[in-house]
Chain A
Amino acid sequence: MANMINLLMAGLATGAIYALVAIGFTLLWQTSQTINFAQGEFVMLPAFFVLAALNLKAPLWLALLIGLGASLLVLGALFKRAVVDPMLRHGVLPLAICTMALSIFLKEGVKESYSAEASPFPSFVPGGNVSLLGAQISIQSVSIFVFALVVVFALQAFLMRTSTGRQMQATAQNPSVARLLGIPVERMILYTFLINAGLVALASFLVSPVYLAKFSSGETLGLAAFIAAIVGGFNQIRGAIAGGLLLGVVDNFAAAYVSTQYRGAVPLFLLIAVILFRPQGLFGRAEERTV
């Protein structure tokens, strides 16, 4: 029993990390119909902005601010301007592939210009553990969990309750009609990418103390988050939480009770059951009427 709780808690902690990154996937999809295969690298990069600032002897708070600013600029505005804008009209795949190239670009770029080594990353959350149901969980994990929840509910409310949020969704679903109604399409898309950039920066600051700052740390993270987003139902932000936590927990239980050798695949196949049973994902809306 203690084992079970231990596994559950550890799974939730990892799952919260996946969820945090997965939110970005669903956000981008829901508000601009883009899939960003560089999302993992987007989480990796802000940590290096911070490290670079720290190397220049900036205090931690300032370094984090600089990291956030740089992310908004590079991963938000610049990404949107240089990569997304020219490709948005051409469907999902070319842009997805382009972001795949971007992920190579960022990964290799960081490796060459900074280091191939993992660097420890300072945590702005206090260390230590709290005891919960007999399991020790780090405060870091708890804060990631809480943060992910807060972000999801805030974003959900923003998209659903505010006019700007709905304009963003409208832009994604039918940009030409949105333009025709006078929705500032460009600005809506920019908001989307700025929010995403802020999100990945914060995710980066929370996750890097656990995962370490390393050029390749986005690989597994990005993939896991992609899966979490799909399982949650790609077009629902709150699905990302469910998907992330489910993936984290299932992964741990599968490794403990099914097979460690096949750990990479067992959870995926269990989650495929979810997808085949509910093709729109756990929380997703059914596809629109086609005829």
Chain B
Amino acid sequence: MAGPILEVRDVRKRFGGITAVDGVSFEVREGEILGIIGPNGCGKSTLFNCILGQLRPTEGRVVLDGQDVTGLRPSEINRRGVSRTFQLLQVFPQLSVRENLILAGQEHKGSMASRLFGKRDAGLTPEADRMIAFFRLGHLADEKAGGLSYGQQKLLDAAMAFMAGPRMVLLDEPAGGVNLTMLGHLEERLRAINAEQGATFVVIEHNMDFVMRLCTRVVVLAEGRKIAEGTPAEVRANQTVIDAYLGH
């Protein structure tokens, strides 16, 4: 495996008097599947938002491919091949499932001007339909995304993150609300993309079975700080982690 694709250096985020992320540093190596776990409200989602430009870190740097990307806009970071999913549902409710997916891919081809003159679907319908079939949303392809069930929207959100063939995907609780059979399916897919295309994943998840099976390495946060890092097995055995997070 190659060197770090992403470096998070001493990132801190304050909201008024609340310090949500308190000086977190770690690396993500090209091609790995990194898990991030930690109790509720420990700053995982905030950290993602800082990495991806949704929030500007109060302090610290985010380095992508050796370039400082701190404070860049989310769209710019996305166009460097980093996509994400959201913990709370984030789809385009009035657009159909297929349109949601095409949208997720269209901005990655050509320039803004060429898009104006290009095809309506930017040639993405086949890819979108493949995604739809994979996530078993076939009968819903033309339905408005706002009318999907919770789990279906969650899957759609994940599918959107894969549309542009990203190099790295940050997933914020992808398993929440997803049926176990479907989750197994998703897990296989992640592994396959990781193995075949060398894509990197960072996964926030509370489903420990999922994390243990999938991740090659795990970072543990608590109260905004990193408290442990290691292989899933190491982390699982760490007493601090058990006390703060896993329980017995």
Q: Is A291 an interface residue (CB 8 A)?
A: yes
Q: Is B216 an interface residue (CB 8 A)?
A: no
Q: Is B54 an interface residue (CB 8 A)?
A: yes
Instruction: Tell me the smallest distance from the CB of B147 to a CB of chain A, in Å.
Output: 15
Which residues of B are found within 8 Å of A291, using beta-carbon distances? 45, 49, 54, 86, 88, 90
Chain B contact residue count (CB 8 A cutoff)? 6
CA distance A190 to B90 in the complex (A): 33
Q: What are the interface flags for A121-149 relative to B under an 8 Å C-beta threshold, 1 for contact and 0 otherwise? A: 00000000000000000000000000000
Which residues of A are found within 8 Å of B45, using beta-carbon distances? 291
Chain A contact residue count (CB 8 A cutoff)? 1
Instruction: Tell me the smallest distance from the CB of B172 to a CB of chain A, in Å.
Output: 9
Q: What are the interface flags for A276-291 relative to B under an 8 Å C-beta threshold, 1 for contact and 0 otherwise? A: 0000000000000001
CA distance A291 to B54 in the complex (A): 8
Q: Which of A245-291 contact B (CB under 8 A)?
A: 291
Instruction: Tell me the smallest distance from the CB of A106 to a CB of chain B, in Å.
Output: 34
Instruction: Tell me the smallest distance from the CB of B3 to a CB of chain A, in Å.
Output: 29
- Residue in A closest to B86 when the chains form the complex, CB atoms: A291
Which residues of A are found within 8 Å of B49, using beta-carbon distances? 291
- Residue in A closest to B84 when the chains form the complex, CB atoms: A291
Instruction: Tell me the smallest distance from the CB of A89 to a CB of chain B, in Å.
Output: 14
Q: Which of B178-236 contact A (CB under 8 A)?
A: none
CA distance A291 to B49 in the complex (A): 8
Q: Which of B51-109 contact A (CB under 8 A)?
A: 54, 86, 88, 90
Measured CB to CB, the residues of B under 8 A from A are: 45, 49, 54, 86, 88, 90
The 6 A-B pairs at the shortest CB distance, nearest first, are namely: A291-B54, A291-B49, A291-B86, A291-B90, A291-B88, A291-B45
Q: What are 5 of the A-B contact pairs (CB < 8 Å)?
A: A291-B45, A291-B49, A291-B54, A291-B88, A291-B90
